[in-house]
Amino acid sequence: MTVPFRFLQIALFFIASAAASIGANAQIASQKTVVTTDQVRAELMAHAPQGVTPGQPVWVGLQIKHQPEWHTYWKNSGDSGLPTQLEWTLPPGVLAGDTAWPLPKKISLGKLVNYGYEGTLLLPVPLTITPDFKPSLLNPELTVKLKASWLVCRKECIPEEGEFTLNIPVKGSTALNSAAFDAALAAQPQPLAATKDSRLTIDGSTLKLQLAGLPAQLQGQTLEAFPETPEVINPSAPWQQAWQGAVWTATLPLADARSASPALLPLVLTHKGQGWRIELPVSGEWPKATAPATLSPALQAALDINAQANAQGAATASTAVSTSFLAALLGALLGGLILNLMPCVFPVLAIKVLSFTRHADDHRGHRVSGLAYTAGVVLSFVLLGLLLLGLRAAGESLGWGFQLQNPGVVAALAALFTLIGLNLAGVFEFGQFAPSSLAAFQARHPVVDAFLTGVLAVAVASPCTAPFMGASLGLAVALPAVQALLIFAAIGLGLALPYLAASFVPAFARALPKPGAWMDALRKLLAFPMFGTVAWLVWVLGHQSGVDGAGALLALLVVFSAVIWSLTLTGRSRLMIATILIAAGAWLAWAIGPFVLKNQATAEAPAADARWQAWAPGQVEQLLAAKQTVFVDFTAAWCVTCQYNKQTTLADATVLTELEEKKVVLLRADWTRRDPAITAALAQLGRNGVPVYVFYKQGMAPIVLSEILSVQEVRAALAQL
């Protein structure tokens, strides 16, 4: 049967339309051009009036629309802040030029003066299309990918980022955004040639600027000057300007903490929305440069006071911790001793003490076991220290407790403690699953067993060390490697010391009750602290991977426990039930396992009440500039001491009332997951772990409280403010 030609036309039309629709939808789905937060709307835009061909102008850019009162920063952010960063990923044959920064404006906050933007901002970037660019015949588009990060501030500052993808058609015009790009390019400073009467001269602590050749209509007008090189000119210091005929002069104060001494200084001058850019050689000798100021002047001065006090060996009344090396070693040793009383460590130690009752008269065996346990503890701490120092040397921003900032490590520890708890509860014996050659491993190799018990003790104890030796650990990462590792070894020796001493004192073993039924009861009782530790680890994971991650881990632990139980059965029941459970567990691990390892984008650790705000980089200095007193709680979900302090001292009604009366701003820095900004803030305070509690006030050194807080200590610190 012959198909009518008209029918074929209609069919082909619909097929082509469907294909075009599918292609368009696929293109839209592959693009992500907008990121919206509570503070900004960021969009990746393109402008290619003559298409994407060599020699023709092609522009891309990030447009940021700020909510009222919020701002981001220019290439030189001024007293504080960070410029917006753009990282482009382009196909071969396409090159990105420099960002064309529009004219900035001065944004004052207290005594700080920053350079930045409010309202709507577009940061245009020119693309160079070379002959090496070969678009696909099936997909004739230029794919542009951008990873952008920006710091958006009001009184508080919030670091934000976004990843964008945009497909630009090779043929045809993308003039839709032409108005936005035209406005952004019109806001660029015009080049100003340096004449023989223009100069820039160093005069003590100031720069003398003299400019000729400015447009005639500017004579007698007040101009603004913006140096492109950061940390050379003090943005917040007063400066003078004057006109001498057609020559404009200005005196620019140098920054107190200058980090650069450029031979050529680019400057942008502005007046009522117009701008000019000039590069002038600097004549004269720069004063000796100081370290760059990354904090507000008040906070930097306070930290300098604190650092000087530490260097002189003087401890503040709130910390009473010496930073000398010998004192750090002693602090590490005492901190390790105290760790034996931590809830997660005590069950492990108690299990080892049970071995005394089984072999009360084997004094030599006790001593060897004590030495092996000590070796396992000390070596594990040293290896953790080596790992931390190595990663930091490679550029990783890590602090003590980093091992529990990884959801995979937390999940593995939860499985390990579930296994130990089931063993203590009598659900199974390790000998049931081992081959006959290994069934008596623990009995035949007690030294190896003791060593591995020491390793286990460190695995659960290390995150709890920071409360007792914050200064020692903070000092360790700044010391030479050998001295740093000695501090880590001292922590391990302190943790192992009670068991080591008991193994060398026969009277201790003789004082224990004789073996009997009580040992089995105690063993089963110790299973519950192990399960309690599992509950704590699941709670920690919930802060890292969210409720779904915690729920997935609980489900996997239940199946894991059922598999362990099924392996204790005998005969065909064991084969059938174990096979079903193992298969179900494998499927469940595949289906929901990724939820366990997924890191949440934001913390799920809500503040105890509305009084607390989330800490952000730069927020403290912003608040200090506004003459507000600040209290920061550096905490983590896996830190037991942090949670104790949070539920006791920091929840005390008297403390909260006095904090409110003093108008103290309360910030909580959650270090449950890895956060380089919090790690850096801790390092500035000479700490490397949590908890850390700090009062900040303008003109004062930060008051660092002790790690185990008391109501009296907090009230005493408040009285000093």
- Model confidence pLDDT, tens digit, residues 183-198: 888 889 988 888 888 8
Which is more confident, 142 or 533? 142
Q: How far is CA 482 from CA 228, 374, 547, in A?
A: 43, 20, 42
- Nearest to 525, CA basis, from 350, 358, 342, 357: 350
Q: Which of 106-110, 137-141, 369-373, 632-636 has the lowest mean pLDDT?
A: 137-141
Peptide bond into 691 cis (omega under 30): yes
Q: Which of 45-59, 63-77, 128-142, 446-460 has the lowest mean pLDDT?
A: 446-460
- Nearest to 380, CA basis, from 450, 312, 468: 450
Res 365: pLDDT? 67
Q: Which of 391-400, 414-423, 615-624 has the lowest mean pLDDT?
A: 391-400
Strand 112-117 relative to strand 264-271, pairing: unpaired
Q: Which of 265-269, 275-279, 393-397, 416-420 has the lowest mean pLDDT?
A: 393-397
- Nearest to 348, CA basis, from 377, 368, 308: 377
Q: Which two tokens stand for residue 177?
A: 């955004």
Strand 664-670 relative to strand 629-635, pairing: parallel
Whether pLDDT at 701 is above 90:
no
268 membership: H or E segment, kind and range: strand 264-271
Q: How far is CA 615 from CA 156, 287, 568, 683, in A?
A: 9, 36, 50, 16
Res 168: pLDDT? 86
Percent of the chain whose predicted confidence (pLDDT) is above 90: 13
Diameter over CA atoms, the chain: 107
Whether pLDDT at 434 is above 60:
no
Determine phi and psi for 703, rounding to 5 degrees. -100, 110
DSSP character string of 553-608: HHHHHHHHHHHHHHTT--HHHHHHHHHHHHHHHHHHHHHHHHHHHPPPSS-----S
Q: Would you place residue 104 in the very low, low, confident or very high pLDDT band (cuts 50, 70, 90)?
A: very high
Q: Are 184 and 100 in contact (CB under 8 A)?
A: yes
Res 630: pLDDT? 93
**Measured distance CA(613)–CA(518) in Å, rounded:** 50
Q: Are 575 and 627 in contact (CB under 8 A)?
A: no
Which is more confident, 24 or 182? 182
Determine phi and psi for 321, rounding to 5 degrees. -120, 120
Q: Are 164 and 35 in contact (CB under 8 A)?
A: yes
Average pLDDT over residues 434-462: 61
Whether pLDDT at 30 is above 70:
no
E-strand ranges in 94-219 read 94-96, 105-109, 112-117, 120-129, 141-153, 157-169, 190-191, 199-203, 206-211
Tens digits of per-residue pLDDT, 463-522? 555 444 444 555 555 556 677 778 778 888 888 887 787 778 766 666 665 656 766 777
Q: Are 502 and 352 in contact (CB under 8 A)?
A: no
Res 28: pLDDT? 35
Which is more confident, 60 or 237? 60
Res 534: pLDDT? 84
- Nearest to 704, CA basis, from 327, 319, 322: 319
Strand 58-66 relative to strand 40-47, pairing: antiparallel
Determine phi and psi for 484, rounding to 5 degrees. -60, -45
Res 380: pLDDT? 83
Q: Are 147 and 108 in contact (CB under 8 A)?
A: no
CA angle 338, 344, 346 (to 5 degrees): 60
- Nearest to 690, CA basis, from 676, 703, 701, 679: 679
Q: Checking phi first, is residue 245 left (phi over 0); if not, alpha (psi -120 to 50) or beta?
A: left
Domains (range + CATH), the chain: 27-188 (2.60.40.1250), 199-283 (2.60.40), 324-597 (no CATH), 612-720 (3.40.30.10)
